Amino acid sequence: MSSINSKSFWRRIKSWPLLLPVVALLLVMAVNIIHDAATGANPLSFFLVSLKDTTTNGTILYGRIIDIINRGSEVAILAIGMTLVVSASAGTDISVGSVMSLCASFMCMMLAGYGVSSTTTLAVPLVIGLLAAVVMGLVCGAFNGTLVAHLSIQPMVATLILYSAARAIGLLLCNDLIVYVRNPSFAFFGAFAGPIPTPIIITVICIVIVSLVLKKTALGMYIQSVGINAKASRIAGLNSKLLIFLAYTLCGLFAAIAGIVASSRITSADSNNIGLYLEMDAILSVALGGNSLGGGKFNLAGSIIGAYTIQAITTTLYALGVSSIQAPVFKAIIVILIVVIEAPPFKAFVNRMSAAKAAKGVKA
């Protein structure tokens, strides 16, 4: 009786869509625990969260796991938009990192005033600056969306335009300067709200809103349907082009939000460095989340877990003493492992193995 129950339990686990991202995250945690135990530290120090008094921010939450969730915010926010884009268009938006930077530059330029390289007072109300970033993100997203949906340009090529141009446009807006906005109301978005890091709160708000939209409207099914079969979706009454356009526009919006966070953290618009390589992390989050990059079905929770897993890997590598220059090598190895585990031929192989084992058991 119990063996039957445990069997169906395993089957349910095996078909759980979040299996891969969760296992990956658990593995990273296990590595931390083992490393901490081996070095004589508290094995659970990875999970320890404490309150710490600081001179700049007052009492704040402190701990490695808080740091990971905080630092992973930008990628998690980007992963939301990327998930929709991948699902709807079977392509990726490789411009998100650059668009982040452009939005940040535009915002800081507005806040500091054109040509000003450093300021502590805001030239326009903060809200105007934030809106500027959001509008810029939407415009960039709409630009990408138009190219992909209405002109049928391949997503990689279409978003390559802003990938290479956006940072330069940002520099142009900032008169080739790194614009510093050293104002506490602006710095808030990259600092702390009470004891909790603000980026975490912003990320949670984004996730909650998107989840509610996906639950309460048919957007999720529409996007998946278009991603699986755009022609059939059109015949069934969906506006495929509009939906793909919408996915890219939303992706631009989330790039803007990530840009605000990243820029606020360093209270400046560093065009050349904000969001650098983050498009790759965002795409990887989607893949790690068990989503097919071939479009169609998506799982947002998977992408989010994927995003934090990537950050956890990065932080863990630093904790293990791997230098930041070599870290990508280890990241690559981990990615290869995960992608292999997720590959259909590997899954089929595992299934054959377990079937053979079961057959043996029956014979015996």
Partner 1 sequence: MEDNVVLTARGISMTFPGVKALDNVDLTLRKGEIHALMGENGAGKSTLIKCLTGINDFEAGEIHIEGIDGPVRNHSTRDAQNVGISTVYQEVNLCPNLSVAENLFIGREPLTVLHTVDRKSYNKRSQKIMDELGISVDVTQNLENYSLAIQQMVAIARAVDMECKVLILDEPTSSLDDEEVEKLFTLMRGLREKGVSILFVTHFLEQVYAVCDRITVLRNGKYVGEYPIADLPRMKLVAAMMGKDLDDLAEIKKEQKDYSKEPMEISAKGLSHAGTIKPFNLDIHKGEVVGIGGLLGSGRSELARCIYGADKAQTGSLEVAGEQVKINQPIDAMNKGMGMLPDDRKAEGIIADLSVRENIILALQAKRGMLRQLTRAQQEEIADRYIDLIQIKTASKETLVKQLSGGNQQKVILARWLATDPDFLILDEPTRGIDIGTKSEIQKLIVKLAGEGKSVLFISSEIEEMLRTCSRMVIMRDGQKVGELDHELSQENVMKAIAGGEA
Please work out, in degrees rounded to the nearest 5, the angle formed at the alpha carbon of residue 294 by the alpha carbons of 292 and 298: 45
The DSSP symbol for 53 reads E
Please list every residue from 284 through 313 that binds partner 1, using CB under 8 A: 296-297
The DSSP symbol for 189 reads G
Q: Binding segment for partner 1 among 2-10, 35-43, 190-198, 224-232 (CB under 8 A)?
A: 224-232
Question: Which residue in the set 1, 151, 236, 364 belongs to the binding site for partner 1 (CB under 8 A)?
Answer: 236
Minimum distance between the CB of residue 342 and partner 1, rounded to whole angstroms?
16
Q: Of 281, 325, 310, which is closest to residue 68 (Cα–Cα)?
A: 310
Question: Which residue in the set 98, 105, 224, 267 belongs to the binding site for partner 1 (CB under 8 A)?
Answer: 224
User: Looking at the DSSP assignment, which residues form a beta bridge with residue 60?
Assistant: 52
Alpha helix stretches (DSSP H) within the chain: 2-14, 19-38, 64-71, 73-89, 96-112, 126-145, 155-173, 184-187, 198-216, 219-228, 230-235, 240-265, 278-288, 300-319, 327-342, 344-363
End-to-end CA distance of the chain: 20
Q: Of 321, 308, 306, which is closest to residue 36 (Cα–Cα)?
A: 321
Q: Does 225 bind partner 1 (CB under 8 A)?
A: yes
Q: Does 87 bind partner 1 (CB under 8 A)?
A: no
Please list every residue from 5 through 44 that binds partner 1, using CB under 8 A: none
Q: Does 221 bind partner 1 (CB under 8 A)?
A: yes
Q: Of 222, 246, 217, which is closest to residue 233 (Cα–Cα)?
A: 222
Question: Which residue in the set 29, 57, 62, 234 belongs to the binding site for partner 1 (CB under 8 A)?
Answer: 234
Nearest to partner 1 of 87, 183 (CB atom): 87
Q: Does 237 bind partner 1 (CB under 8 A)?
A: yes
Question: Which residue in the set 193, 207, 228, 335 belongs to the binding site for partner 1 (CB under 8 A)?
Answer: 228
Contact 112, 82 (CB under 8 A): no
**What is the rounded CA–CA span in Å between residue 98 and residue 38?**
41
Nearest to partner 1 of 153, 168 (CB atom): 153
Minimum distance between the CB of residue 216 and partner 1, rounded to whole angstroms?
6
Q: Does 151 bind partner 1 (CB under 8 A)?
A: no
Question: Which residue in the set 29, 119, 239, 322 belongs to the binding site for partner 1 (CB under 8 A)?
Answer: 239
Which residues of this protein are in contact with partner 1, per CB under 8 A? Answer: 216-219, 221-222, 224-225, 228-229, 231-239, 296-297, 352
